[in-house]
Structure formats: C-alpha cells, structure tokens
Structure 1
Amino acid sequence: MTPPDVEAIGSQLPLALRAPPDQRFERFVAAPTGLLDQLRALALGRHVDPIFLSGPHSSGKTHLLLAACAEAEAAGRRTVYLSLRGLRGRVGEALQDVAAELVALDDLDAVAGERIDEIALFDHHNAQRDAGRGSLYAAIEAPDALPLALPDLRSRLAQCARWQLPTLDDAGRARMLRARATARGLDFDAAALDWMLQRCSRDPGSLAALFERLDHASLVAKRRLTVPFLRQVLGPELG
C-alpha cells in the first residue's frame, strides 16, 4: 500500500506503518452483519462496486479501510490508502496518477464543500469505475448528509453500497480489548479490564492507544495486566 504523504505528496509509506496487526478484519468488533464479507469481496476483487462507510469518530472506519487494504495486499493486489484530513484544496494533487486495484479514501468530510477537491474526487471515482478497480470511502456522515458542493459527486457516492457503523457500547469495548490482549498473548485480568473501562476514556481510539501503552509496559516489566499494575502504569489520577 503506497499512500501519498500529507506533508510531502508522492512519498511512499510501507503497509506495516499504515496497517498495524490490530487493524485487520478479524480484530474488528461488532461489525454490521454482512459488512466484512462485502469488504473482503471488494479487497479481493470479487466485485468492484464501491463501498461508503459512515459513522462517528472512533467507530472503526479507518480500521476497516486499512484492514481492506491489508487483505488486498496479502492477495498480491496493489492498494492506496489516503486520509483527506489536511489535504483541503490539494486532493487533485494527491490523487494525480493514483491508480490501484483498491483505493481507500478516508475522512471525506474534511474536504466537503471545497469544489476543486470534489471535482478531483468525482474524476477519480469515475476513473476507478471505468477501469474496473475498487473504491472504498469513509466519512462521519453518509453522502446525503455531507455538505457537498458538487451534485454529481453526491450522486456518485450515493450509489455506493452504504454502511453505517455504530459506536461501541461498554460490552463492545471490553471485547475489543480482550481480543487485542488475546492476539498478543497477554493475560488481561478480568478485574483489571473492568477497572480500566470504568476509569478511562470510553472512546475506542483512546482505549486502543492506552492498550498499546499497557502492552509495552507489561512486556518491559514482565507483569500481567492486573489492577495494581494498571494503577502503577496509569498513575494515581485514575484512582
């Protein structure tokens, strides 16, 4: 996967930097029924109908875009992942000569209303479709709710297979953390998990970042994830 860099468009980042092992389909929690199958089919070229994911912050949109790219890369297919955050007014430059079997464009809401960017997205969408290549999009809002300036782009995006991602509840957050711990061979004490969920941010993205911190600390200290260890690592501010 070779996405253009926000700061220096045209530079290449390896897959490992953009799609860490936790961002795979099998690590995703509470996916709507049928969504993962459709994303896998798109990633593997079994169909090329574009897909549009919407949902609130930290609902897992980026996770799924990167998981689709990882699945396609594992099958030997070329992919491009690009977040449009920070690219307002420069989408055309970022998408210049981008042609891959799967292109995943994240954070479309960041450029909504910028006509020049929307024209670039419209042209890119048509080029991907005409070449029989896959497109995957994500934004906080669905196409009909985005403040788009270009009716033709809204029409194209509205024709995508559209999926709304929910925000994880407490049970879903617990499953997410348990899955990450299991994947890494960590012993996450049940009481420690409950303690963490009661005191830390409920935002899944923040919880995932916090887990990375705990994972590293556990490996260094060679300790299980218990309440006393969490108190030691996270500090007295959490109680």
Structure 2
Amino acid sequence: MRIRFEFSKGDAARFLSQLDMVRLFERAARRAGLPIAYTQGFNPHPKISFGPALAVGIIGEREYADLEFESPVDVEKTILDLGAQMPSGIRIRSGKEVPKGSPSINAVVDRGEYVIFCVLGTSFSKEEINNAILKILSQKEIHVEKKTKKGMEIKNIRPGIYALEGEIKSGNLLTVKTLLKLSSSGSVSPFSVFEVFLKELNVSLEQGSLKIVRKGIFAYQGGRLLTPLEILH
C-alpha cells in the first residue's frame, strides 16, 4: 500500500536537505509504529520518494512524498500518527492512497510556483518593476550559467519561465511571483530568474533580506495545473 502525503516545510526546516527529509520521515514512521516497507538486500532503504527537491533554504508550502507500507493502514489515522512525530517546521497537511500502477510524483510534475520576497537597495516605482518584467518576458532567449554533472554550462531558461509578476511596496519591498519548469528533464531555478530580474533592474539586495517560498508543484494537464494529489484517481 502506498500513500501520498502533502506536507509543508516551514522556516524552521528550510535548511534540511532531501536526504535529511528521507531520514526524518523514516524516523517519524518508525516512532509512530507504522509498517513502512523497505527494499531488499544487504543495505535496505525505506520505500520513500519525494517530489522535486527543494533547494536548501527554500520554504515549501505544499510538498509531497510517497510512502509505501508492508500492510494496509488507515489513511486518516496514518496522517495523524505520522504528523504527531514530525519536528517543528514540518506539518503533514493531508494524504491519499495511491492506486496501483500510478506513476511517481517526479514522473508527472512539470511546474513549480514560487514567491520571492526581498528588500532592494534602491527604491523603484511600480512602472519600473512592470517594465522590467515585460522586457524579460519579451526576450526569446535568456542565458544563464548552470552547474551540471559535466561542469558549468550555459542554458537558455526562457522557455521554462511560464509566468512572471512583480509588486513593489514602500519603494523597495519587492515581491516576485513566478511559475517555472520543474521536471526530471530539466528545471529552471528561482534563483536564476531572480538574478535575471536584479540584473534588469541593475540593483542589489539588502543583505539577508531574500526569502523564497515554493507555493506548490503541479502537473499541467488539460490546460489546468493539478497537484500530485489531484491527479490521483
């Protein structure tokens, strides 16, 4: 039996890596007395799989993980039992049984929605922010350096920027909302998009003011953005 959990990764947990999260979920499941399944062999691993990894330091409002169990469990009770063992910063929001044969989270997700908050070193008007966004979106190609297994490579990220909005308050309190490509075939980093935005404005940040939140991950199907829970039948 496999259950897909929706959870949040808050400020207190934003520096946990993906490997840390696997260990955390395994430990919580054991403490809750849940019959979590393990792989076979000399070095068994818990059958836990997450959606696309969050970069360390990013908050996740709606993240997802699949846990496989050796025997049937009650979904609602398991949500409560697992949630009770989670540390500060991790909250189990909901869950749903995954039908047999369903693809993994990473196999279906192709978009991520982000909100970026920061304090700019210079004041800007709403018109200046809007003009910067229009200029970015009007470009057919936006090249950035990206670290790969082969080393640093130049990538065109423009095709993976599906939406970009900005709002300025008090002259220098900037909020950027963006929908980006997020898939196993390649993703666009919110850090890269924000660097492009800052370069267009020709401005720096106040130190320590940057905060990035991933609002959710989605599969784009039939003209709609569906969460990994919504795509389960």
Shorter chain as normaliser: what TM range? under 0.3
More helix by share: 1
TM-score, structure 2 normalization: 0.27
TM-score, structure 1 normalization: 0.27
Q: Higher relative CO (CA 8 A, sep ≥ 6), structure 1 or 2?
A: 2
